[in-house]
Structure formats: structure tokens, C-alpha cells
Structure 1
Amino acid sequence: MGKKTKEEIKAGLREKYGVDKVYEWAGYADEPREKPLVDAVEHVAKELNFAPSYLYTIAIGEGLGVTYADILANYKDDVLKTDVSIDGYQSLGVDDFSSDFPRVKKYLPEDYNEGDEYTSKQIVRNEWGGETVVNSATFDGLKNALYGFGAILLHRRDRFLEHKREFKYGIPTEDQSAFWTYVYFQGEGTGRKYLENNGDMDYTSAPPSNVARIGGPDGIRYKALERLATWRYMKTKKIFSE
């Protein structure tokens, strides 16, 4: 048999993870003009002990692609600029970054501070329960944005690992770690409830009925599986160092 086509690879991942879509997000990182994004992801991922392709996949899925890499004004001489301000709420889904900063500062460079690497920004969110105000952030440049985003993601991964130890679940597989990290990124409280009531780290069964959902029935699980499948597809592109 010959080498699988990208459609065959996607079809296999859709079947394996039970999702309808495997996203083609390599398109934000596969051209020479986008190399500054690849380099920044590689640098931050190495510092925070993430697979670069995973950090990239989650960041693009949260909006970094359409709100930053897709914007023509963010290019100079056909090369992506890295010194533009990046909105943490719109581009990276870190709605509560400024509120979370005291908890995640330990993951960041010692000189990473409010007023320099980021500025606090209040956002009014319209949700089912009414309006809520969150303290997000505007980041000074791409690398600072990725550091802030990565610190939140790393904190959520650590929370997952802390809870799985509490529940005596053993050692997670690479897929399980990627899945639950994203679930926790979407909400620590929901993540803990889901993990505890699930009885183990297996993500192939539907979540318990008393777990809050996002985007319809089974939404948190489904969205995390989409990210997992897309990450696995992203790895086949061999754009990043692993």
C-alpha cells in the first residue's frame, strides 16, 4: 500500500475519535511568511514543556488564526509581525487571565508582569445566566501572548494531574493528558466534576449527565475530541520539532 492521502488520514482520525471534523490548521504555519509564528510556538512550548504542535493546535482553535494570522495588516514585507498587540479574550480564550495571573505567574519568566508583558482588560460577557465581567488581558506581542496562554494551559494540566492523583487513576496516556488538559482549560470546576464522575481517565464514553456542557449535549467532551483529532493530524504535517 502507498502513502495515505490527507483525506484518508483525516477519515481515520474522525473514525478513531468519533468526530465530524479534523481541522486543517496547518495552513497558518506552513508558509515561509508564517515562520515567526512557528518559531515563537517552538520557543514557548520548550520553556513550558508542551509539545509545540499541541500548544499551536489549542491556540489556533481558540482564535489565534482568524484574529491574528489571517489579518493582512499583521504582515510586513509578506512576513508575519510578532510585535502587534494580541487580545487574550478574542484570540486565545484566556477570558480570566488577569484574575488568574497570581496562580500562573510561577510558570512564567520572572520578569513577566502586568504593565509590561500584558495589560488587564475587562470584558463584559453575555451568557445564558446574564452578563458577567471578566478580567482578561491584552498582550504585548506574540511571544508574550503565547507565554500567557501557555501558562494557563499548563496550570490546567497540573490541576488535572493533581485531581487524577487524588482519584487514584494512574498514569495517563498521551491522548488522555491532551484530552483532559483541554477539558480543564474550558473550566476547572467542570473538568474536576467530569473526571471524578467518569470513574477513570477514559474519554470514549459520554460524560455523566450532571456535568455541565458547552455547545449542546456532550459538548465539552466533543470539543476536546475535535482538538485531539486535529492535533494528531497536525503532527503528521511535521511542521514543528516533534
Structure 2
Amino acid sequence: MSHDALDGWLAEGLRLSFFGVSGWSQRAIFKEISGVEPAATTAQRMMQVYQEAGDVSHAHLTIVQQANRIDVVLGDRPTQNTVDPSLPGYKPFFSIGPFRQSLESFDSFAGKAVALLPNAIRVAYAITLIRPTSGSKEAIRAIHKLIPRIPVDPENDTDLLFQINRPTRDDRGLLINRLAKWEALQVTTVRVNPMGGPIPIMPATPPVSAAQIYIDANTDAGNIVPLNNLSELLSELRQHAVKLAEAGEA
């Protein structure tokens, strides 16, 4: 049985973005994409923003239409308790669930979104993964396994952040950016006086640590020609993003 390099990693968020969609008028599309009615809809006509959001199974789907951009985002429920471990349902970081399962759920939404749109000047497919750890050293070790060519000493190094874009061209000559970022996180929740009084800022909980991966596979920002075969392009960008998350800088 082959080893899964992303075993233990959770999906923090998945996003599909379209820029410059011609012939498109803002309308309600949440139900067409998710199969359920949105829990909330916000329309800001002056700013040309139309947003729909709601829970889908164990996650939260948000669809934002702007003047020149459409985003389909799957993430954790915004009401998730990530602050107080003494309250029910606490977890230290927002996450949807195991990466592979979350990716499969997002595939359905992404495929239906693509089917609605005639074209786009630019398309981006982004995934954010997170792996809670017992401490910062463990977070750095988890990242170093995916970027072994980068000199890192988990026992002594701190504040690890490595980002790089490795552009490539596909069989059609289309430029594909492959932006990746690996980061060791350490987060401390603090208590502040809601009345604004001069009390010391004290940690509310012990620091929590995690390893995080952000991958954004996207087409050329300088392109001005509408891209028509969005379904094929979605599959290509997804493949680049997943492969980079799996292989890292190995």
C-alpha cells in the first residue's frame, strides 16, 4: 500500500475563482451549485457584490459574485469554536475535515459552478491545508518532510515560512502559475477588556501550533483572451494544486 504524503492533513479551505466572465449577470446560483437554499444572501448593488452562504453537510459554502470576479469557497462553519477549549465543540483551528474527503466534496461544487459559466479571462484553484501539532518543532518537522531540499533544522529553527511560484506551460502553451507556501503557525488567543479599560493583555489559552500549506494554481494574470473550456481547465488546475501539495519541493 502506497503512503499518502498528506495523511493527517486537514482541509482548511478550498477556493475556485473566475475573473473577467463575459456575458454574465449576477443572480442567485447557490442552490444550483449546492442543491440547497442559502442560509444568508447579501446584495450590495452600489458595490456590485452579491453573496450567498450556507452550511453544506459538515462544511460552509460561500459564493461571492463581484463586478469582475466570482469565488466559490468551501470552509469551516464560521460559528466553529476555535477560541475557548472549555466550551463544547472546540478545536484549535478552522478545518473542514480530512483533505481527501473534503476535496471530493468540493469537486461536486466546482464542477457545477464551471457548468454555469461561459468563459473567463482567468481562473484560480486554491487549497489550504492544516495539520495541528503538539508544538512548533513538530510543525516544522511536518513541513520539512514536504520541502526536504530546503535546509531546515527543526530542533533549532523557528518561524518557518517558505513561498515560491514555479510557473509552467501546459500542452496548449497556456501559462500556469503554481504558487505554494509552507508555514509553521503558532497562535495564542488573548483576553482583552471589552470596555476598553487598561487591563493587561493575558493569554486566554496556551499557544497552539500547526503546519499549514497554501497552494494556488492559476492562469496568467496578463491574459486578455477569454478561456472557454473551463471544465478542462478546472481539471488541469486541480491536478497541479493537488500534485504540488503531495510532492512539495521534493
**TM more than 0.5:** no
Scaled to the shorter chain, the TM-score interval is under 0.3
Q: Which has the larger share of strand? A: 2
Largest Rg, 1 or 2: 2
Point out which structure has higher relative CO (alpha carbons under 8 A, 6+ apart): 1
Q: Which has the larger share of helix? A: 1
**TM-score normalised according to structure 2 size:** 0.25
